[in-house]
Structure 1
Amino acid sequence: MNPQNKTSTDFILLGLFPGFKYPNLLILTVLLIYTIAFAGNSILLLLIWLDSRLHTPMYFLLTQLSIIDLAYISSTVPKTVTNYFTGKKSISYLACASQMFFFLTLGLAECILLTLMAYDRYVAVCNPLRYTVLMSPRVCLQMAVAAWTGAVLAALVHTVYPMHFPVCGSREISHYFCEMPAILRMSCVDTSVYEMVKFVSTIIFLLVPFVLILASYVLIFLTVLKMNSRNGKKKALATCSSHLTVVSLYFGQAIFIYMTPSSSHTPEQDQIGAVLGTIVTPMLNPIIYSLRNKEVVGALQRCTGRCCGEEQPLFLQCCSQKRASLSLKTTHGQF
């Protein structure tokens, strides 16, 4: 018997695609993606914090998304890489529950946040005259608090409930982190009641937000079609294209994993969906919002231009610029 199996409360993580022929290449690829994701989201957060032109509701919500992406990818990749290089695959019961809780919290918060970002675009395009009122700094802060609070409460329920199911036989998790479907697959009791609870929760936290996002963009496109200015149409669509791309990446894999029964797809399919959601998407999100957003590109050019063109140290320059921007009176919904 494997010595790791002697601890009855511990689980064994089989890792990322255990049957893959070139594990070294796989781990190096994951590390590269993690580095790009960490750097991309960190740079995006820094640009939004330094540039006063980006102190608007849309970019406030975008900072929340970047924070989620940083925590999302950091909740799974470091443990996976550490297990691979140390050869230790065990994870304690408490660590498994914690990992599941943080993973669910971040995933649910991102789902709610993407819905709020769609509402922000709807107000900006369809009701621009009331934008500063409907998307005031106070409202945006309340939105962020509501998103995190709702995610934490729902994640707590869906962590405590599955982790109390008894496990019979092998405690090997055919995954690279502790995820709900993988835990349910090991249970030796009937989980049909919880599967129904999970399905209802998924409708509330996944399908309803997805429908709301679609409804928002239907109204946005109808408004854009009525515009007489061609430049106005391009500008309105440009502000929405990045968000639509991120929504497609997130909801595609989430609906596949959580809107279908665990028995209808294999562990390998679960891993592919999880990799797309927890590793690939956090890397792509800052790239999508940077390359397809002129304001972010402009902020990056201004920052690099000032840093390269002046002798003032970067840290002092950034701090002085930040103090100057905070001293100005905020207008038009700026933070």
Structure 2
Amino acid sequence: MQHKIKYFLRLSWLFLLSSVAFNTFASGYKVVLIHGLQTSQITSGYPIDVPADGASYWSEFWAQHADVRIDWPALERIEGKIASDYVWPKLKQMSQQGTCQPGCILVTHSTGDLVARYLLDNQANWLENAGMTPLNIVATFDIAGAGGGSELADLAVSVAQGTAGLNPLLEAAITAWLGGSIEGRLGVLNDLKVNNARQIAALPEARTPRLRFVADGTLFLGATKLFLKGTDDSVVATHSACGASRADNFGSCSASIATSGKLASQSDAVNGFMPHHYPMLMSDKYDHFSVINDRAEGKVTAALTSRQLLDGNAVNFNTYDEETGAWFWKSTYRYVENSANNSLSRLMLNAMR
């Protein structure tokens, strides 16, 4: 009997060790935040406090779940001082400290998607040339990604340069988006112009999966939606957020699911993606800014339920189908489990664990 007790104790201990090892592995990824456009910097000009603005940007939710932030100023250009003075020093620090040895996931929002694309295309060469180890980046979670640019940036630059003509609706939309008028340099707004954005690191050598999280909600009383292609989150259009290979009037990232979750053929769906871009979750309940907060706004659907990361592990989302109406008015919707009570950002965080 005593031998049996010892045997079961050993089994229990081994099970406990394996559980701890699994949890350490599953939650071992380091989270690196790259924020989006700081509109207040565009409207106020220098001096600005880049670290303080970066901390404030993520303060509601992601800050307490991250290991590193890469902060950058909106008044500079991505291929200029953003890369040399802000991204590069952080990459060196992360390499020297071995931050990404267990694997890093970049969590980007808005223009951070474009900054990340340039980072992914160059980080290995930069670090190797400096005699350091490249970062082990296993995936990016791109929330409301502006890697395909935003039509609002094209219009804002035109307004600032006085080439847009007299259009009160346009000027009101740009002011609503930026929170004021442009003061001084245009900075990253030039990079955010649709054609310019799509030329930055357009074909990166890195095979890192770019997982996309897409919103389709309304801000600014709908003023900005008048100037964006297809469906949009009031700042970036679906062609950008989904990672489409071209800018067009797309309505969904999926050919079979609407952003609302309705299962139906989508004739206006994205039909081609940038390299290694994979749309995961979509929602018509979240807007461009609520996607990075921890407030449940409504049910979320999945364009893809699973995607393998660079290290062979996978991100998974469980879904269920729900029917509404009857007879000719009957419809089927597909939703992610627990999305009614959990924010889109929390669903993402839970998928990392």
TM band (smaller chain): under 0.3
Q: TM-score, normalised by structure 2?
A: 0.25
Question: More helix per residue: 1 or 2?
Answer: 1
TM-score of the two chains, using structure 1 as the length reference: 0.26
Q: Which one scores higher on RCO, CA 8 angstroms, separation ≥ 6?
A: 1
